[in-house]
Amino acid sequence: YSSLRFDIRRIAAIKDGQEAIGNRTRVKMVKNKVAPPFKTAEFDIIYGEGISKLGDMLDLAAEHDIIEKSGAWFAYGGERIGQGRENAKRFLKEHPAMAAEIEAKVRLGYGMPVPGEMRPPLVAPETLSS
């Protein structure tokens, strides 16, 4: 008797020219006894690499208007970074400083800590005395 059940479907092939380099995947939670069901997620699975972190970051940044998307073009700070998702992902892979800046803005938008940033202690320091 499962507590969770997922419906995993390939929705598109990711191609580089004629060669398939991965899949766009949609996962829908169809049964969940521990939380609300019917949540969905879409992500890229790149062969030999796994889930594409840059693809997820690009989607979240476009969703929160950190990256402007007009038609097939993606732009950040007035600079066009690529026509189509794959070209934008390739640009961010070649420019890690810009990718880190975008990731920091996405994380701040969700209230998550930025890598390398000091986190406040979970317990007040005065309660740690022994």
Condensed to tens digits (0 to 9), the pLDDT of residues 35-53 reads: 999 999 999 999 999 999 9
pTM for the structure as a whole: 0.76
Q: What is the CATH number of the domain that holds 89?
A: 3.30.250.10
Average pLDDT of the chain? 88
Burial category of 61 from C-beta neighbours within 10 Å (exposed 0-12, middle 13-18, buried 19 and up) = buried
* Tokens matching residue 73: 């073009």
pLDDT tens digits along 45-78? 999 999 999 999 999 999 999 999 999 999 998 8
pLDDT tens digits along 2-17? 899 999 999 999 998 8
Q: How far apart are CA 22 and CA 56, in angstroms?
A: 14
Instruction: Give me the mean pLDDT over the 81-92 stretch.
Output: 91
Is 120 within a domain?
A: no
Give the model's pLDDT for residue 16. Answer: 86
Residue-number span of the structural domain to which 8 is assigned: 1-51
Nearest CA among 22, 17, 66, 21 for reference residue 42? 22
Same domain as 62, residue 47: no
